[in-house]
Structure 1
Amino acid sequence: MSKQQPTQSLTETLSLLKSLIQIPSTTLQEHAVALHLRSYLQSHNWHVHLQPLPSHPDRFNVLAWRGTPTDSLDSLTGRKFKVLMNSHIDTVPPHIEYGETETRVTGRGACDAKGSVASQIVAVEELIREGRVAEEDVGLLYVASEETDHIGMIAASSLPISTNYLIVGEPTELKLALGHKGVLKADIKVTGKAGHSGYPHVGRNAIDALVDVLGALKSAPWPHDPRLGPTTLNFGSISGGVAANVIAASATADIAIRVSTSAAEVSSLLLSTVEKVKEGLQDGIAVEVSVRAAMDPVRCETVDVEGVETFVAGYFTDIPYLKGDHKPLLYGPGSILVAHSKDEFVEKADLEVAVGVYKQIILGLVGRG
C-alpha cells in the first residue's frame, strides 16, 4: 500500500513551521524570527508592521493585515477586526534544532507556540482563498516576550486597532479552553534567633515556624470555582538555616497559587492564614509575607465545533495583557506537558486538525457579526 501524500494544508503548515523552528528565538532573541515572519507574510500579500518594544527597540511584535491598500500603520487607525489571531514568537531556552519523523515535528517551539503560529496563518489564508471570509475580517498579531514578562502583549495594547475576538494559540491538545487560572506569587520570610541546637531555649527556630506556616497554608480552604475548578497551592522553593547543629535564624519559602476565583480573595486568605499562625508563635519570631504578583483568572469564549472538547488551562498566558473589550479564546496543537522540555514535539496530524478547527472557529465568530 502506498503511503498517503500530505494535503496541501499540511504541506504549507509544515513548511512554515520548519522555517520558524530553524530560527532560534529564545526570549530577548526574537529579532530574526520576526524579520522572517514579516518576509513570509509580505510574500503572501499581507501588509506587515513590526512594532518595536519600547524598552528593547531591536525586538518586535508582528502585526499583519489585508484589505487595506497600504502598509502604513496609520491606515489601520480605528480598524476593528472581527477576529485577531495571536500567539508568541519567543521560546524558552535552550534552542533545540528542528527535527522530523514520519509523524512528528520536533524542536524548540514545535508546540509552544510556533505550531500554533503556522496553523493559524495557514487557516486564515485558506479561508481568504476560499472566499469564506473577507480580507479585512481577520488580522494577525504575533508577539515577543510571552515566556517571561509579557511586555510584547503589553506593547501591543498601544497599536491603533481593536477586535471583537482574540484567538490565542497555545498548546491545548486540540481542546478549547473554558479559561485559564490566575496566579499569585509570594515570598514568606521568617526571622528567628540563632543558637546551639543542644539548647533550643536559647534560640528561636525560623524553620520550625516556617513549617507551621506552610502546614497551615496546605490545609487552608482554598476556593473552588464551578467553571475553572480548584485553586491550587505549590511550594516552589524553601531555604533556611546553616547547619544541623545550629538553630536556624532565618528561613524563606517561595510559593505560587493558581487562582480559580479572584486574586484578591486568595490574597486575603493567604494573609489571614499566616496571621493566625503568627499568633501562636514564640516571641522573637517574625514572619513577613510579600506578594510579588497577583493576576485574576481568565474566562474564555468558546465556539461549538464538532469533536472539540473543552478544558481548563492550569498555565498562564498573554491574554489579560492586551487591553480592550474583546472576548478571548484559547486553542492550539500540542501538549503543554512537553512544552519547555528537551523532547518538545507536535504531531503532524494535530497540525492539520488545528488548521481545520481554527477555520471553523473563525467562521463561527465572523458569523456572529
Structure 2
Amino acid sequence: MTASVTLLQELIGFDTTSSRSNLALVERIADRLDHLGARVRLSHDDDRRKANVLASFGPQAPGGVVLSGHTDVVPVDEQNWSSDPFRLAERDGKLYGRGCADMKGFVAACLAAATGFAATDLARPIHIALSYDEEVGCLGVPRLIADLLEHEEKPGFAIVGEPTGMRLGDCHRGFLGFRTRFEGKAAHSSDPSAGASAIYPAADFVGFLKSIGHRAGVGIDRTTVNVGRIEGGSAINIVPSACEITWEFRPVTAQEADETERLVAAYLARTAPPDVRSSLHRHVHVPPLSPAADEPALGLAAALGGIGPPFAMPFGTEAGFFQAAGISTVVCGPGSIAQAHQPDEWIECSQLDAVDAFLARLTAWANRRQS
C-alpha cells in the first residue's frame, strides 16, 4: 500500500460533509504537517466550526506553487452504497469511499508528498492550501487566499487538484447562488382567502427559472439554471406563510450574469402579489476561470506530467479565486468528475500513482540543486 493510499484511508474515515465541522480532520492534517517542519496556519470561519489549512515548505520567497484542495465532501443521504462510504474499500484496482475522487485522493497525495518537500532543499516554496466549504460555494477559499497573501510571499502558480484524470483544465464558468424568499400570511385552510399563500408565487417563480434556463449553446457555452431546494409550509391544513427557493445559475459571460440578475429582479417586481413580499439574496459567487494560451501554470503542469491539450471544464472550482488574485492557475488532479457526488464514488489506484509521480516531479523542479 502506497503512502497516498494509506493517507486516503485515514482521510475517508473523517465525515467532513459540508454540513458538519471539519476541525477533527484539519487538526490531524495540521499536526502531521507541523511535525514535518512546515509553516502551518489555520484560518477559521466566523463560528470557528471549520478551518482552512495553509502549510508552507521552503523559503519565504515569491514565485512558489500552491497545491489547492478542499476538505469537505457532499452528503451520502439517499444514496445506495455497496460499502460504508466513510471506510475505504478496494475492489479491482479501484478505491471506494466518499471523497476518493472529489477530492481527498489529491489531498492524500499532497500529504504524502509533503515528506519529500520537507526533506528537500527547496529553492521555491510549495504551499499546501486546503479549504472548507468548497462544495457549498467555495466559502473558505477567499479567507484562505487572504491569509496566504498576508503571511507568505505571493506565489507564481496555483494547481487546483479537482478530478480531471490528470488532464489540464484551463477554463470553466462562474457560479452564482441565490435564496429567494416569499412571505405571505398564514390562515386555516378551510378559508384560504383569509391568508396569502407564499407557495403559489414561489411555484410560479420556479417555472420562470425553468423558462430562462433553456438557452442556446452547448456545454459550457450555455448559461444554465438549477433549482436545488424548495422549503415552505408547515402543515396540510395551514395556508403557508413562507417559502424559500435556493437556486443557482452558471453564466458564460459577465454580461449574461448581469442580464440574468436583471431578468429575475424584474420578474419579482412585476409579479409578486400585493399581499406577499419577496426578497432576493445572493449568497454565493464563484468567479470563472478564464483561459490564456500563455498561462505559466499550464506550462508548469504540463512539464510535471499533466495531460494536454487544455480543456474547458463543465464544473466549477476555486481556481477563479486564485486567478483573480493574480496567481497563474490550472486545474489538474486525479480521478474522474463523473464519479464525484455519486454513490460508490471511486478513484483508480493508477490515478493516485500518476499524481504521486506528478508531485515528485514538482519536488525536483523546486529543488535548489536543480534550479
- TM-score norm. by structure 2 comes to 0.71
The answer (yes or no) to whether the contact 1:223–1:260 under 8 Å persists in 2 is no
Take 1:258 and 1:219, find their aligned partners in 2: how far apart are those partners?
Answer: 15
C-alpha distance in structure 2 between counterparts of 1:308 and 1:115, whole Å: 23
* Distance in 1 of aligned mates of 2:28 and 2:179: 37
Change (3 A) 1:24 1:318: farther
Post-superposition offset of 1:204: 4.0
Q: Distance in 2 between matches of 1:281 and 1:59?
A: 40
Aligned-partner Cα distance in 1 for 2:310–2:222:
20
Residue in 2 aligned with 1:35?
31
Q: Which has the larger radius of gyration?
A: 1
Structure 2 gaps, min length 5: 77-84
Q: Specify the code of the residue in structure 1 equivalent to 2:346.
A: F
Pair 1:330-2:331 in alignment: yes
Residue number in structure 2 paired with 1:71: none
Q: What's the counterpart of residue 87 of structure 1?
A: 69
Name the aligned partner's letter for residue 33 of structure 1: I
Q: 1:99 to 1:242 in 2, by over 3 A?
A: closer
SS of residue matched to 2:123? helix
Q: Is 1:348 aligned with 2:339?
A: no
Q: Which sits farther off after the overlay, 26-35 or 309-318?
A: 309-318
TM-score of the two chains, using structure 1 as the length reference: 0.72
Q: Return the alpha-carbon distance in structure 1 between the equivalents of residues 352 and 165 of structure 2.
A: 10
Q: Deviations over 1:74-113 (max 9, x none)?
A: xx1xx11343333235556788123333412233443232
Change (3 A) 1:181 1:361: farther
Partner of 2:316: 315
Map Cα deviations across residues 240-266 of structure 1 (whole Å, 9 max, x no partner).
34555654443321212233323x852
Residue 128 of structure 2, aligned match among 98, 120, 141: 141
- Map of 1:238 onto structure 2: 230
Q: How far 1:327 moved relative to its partner?
A: 1.0
Unaligned runs of 5+ in 1: 1-9, 69-75
What is the match of residue 179 of structure 2?
A: 187
Single out whichever of 326-335 and 89-98 deviates more from structure 2: 89-98
Matches within 5 A, 1:99-118: 99-118=89-108
Distance across 2 between alignment mates of 1:311 and 1:225: 14
In structure 2, do the counterparts of structure 1 residues 138 and 345 end up closer, same or farther at CA, with 3 Å as the change threshold?
farther
Aligned partner letter, 1:210: A
Q: Is the 8 A contact 2:173 2:220 kept in 1?
A: yes
Answer 1 or 2: which has greater helix percent: 2
Could you tell me whether the CA contact under 8 Å between 2:176 and 2:282 is conserved in 1?
Answer: yes
Counterpart for residue 208 of structure 2? 216
CA distance in 1, matches of 2:110, 2:237: 60
Cα 1:312/1:306, change in 2 over 3 Å: closer
- Whether 2:279 is the aligned partner of 1:288: answer yes
**2:81 corresponds to which residue?**
none
Percent identity of paired positions between Structure 1 and Structure 2: 22
Question: 1:360, 1:279 → 2: CA distance?
Answer: 59
Residue of structure 2 in register with 1:272 after alignment: 263
Structure 2 counterpart of 1:3: none
Give the match for residue 177 of structure 1. Answer: 169
Q: Secondary structure at 2:243's aligned position in 1?
A: strand
| Partners of 1:238 and 1:60 in 2: CA distance | 30
Letter in structure 2 aligned against 1:333: P
How far apart are 1:289 and its partner, in Å? Answer: 1.6
Rounded to whole Å, the distance in 2 between the matches of 1:161 and 1:334 is 31
Count how many residue pairs are aligned between Structure 1 and Structure 2: 338
Distance 2:151 2:248 in 1: 32
Give the deviation of 1:221 after TM superposition: 6.5
Contact 2:70 2:103 in 1 (8 A): yes
* CA deviation profile, 1:315-354 (whole Å, cap 9, x unmatched): 3336516874211111111234444556333110112233
Cα 1:311–1:360, aligned 2, differ >3 Å: closer, same or farther? farther
Deviation sequence 1:274-324 (CA, Å, 0-9, x none): 423542454333322222233332225534655666231423336516874
Give the deviation of 1:31 after TM superposition: 0.2
Q: Once superposed, what is the RMSD of the aligned Cα atoms?
A: 4.3
Q: CA deviation at 1:167?
A: 0.7
Whether the aligned pair in 2 keeps the contact of 1:48 and 1:62 (CA below 8 Å) is no
Change (3 A) 1:330 1:350: same
Give the Cα–Cα distance (whole angstroms) in 1 for the partners of residues 272 and 13 of structure 2: 56
Corresponding letter in the other structure for 2:126? G
**What SS is found at the alignment partner of 1:210?**
helix
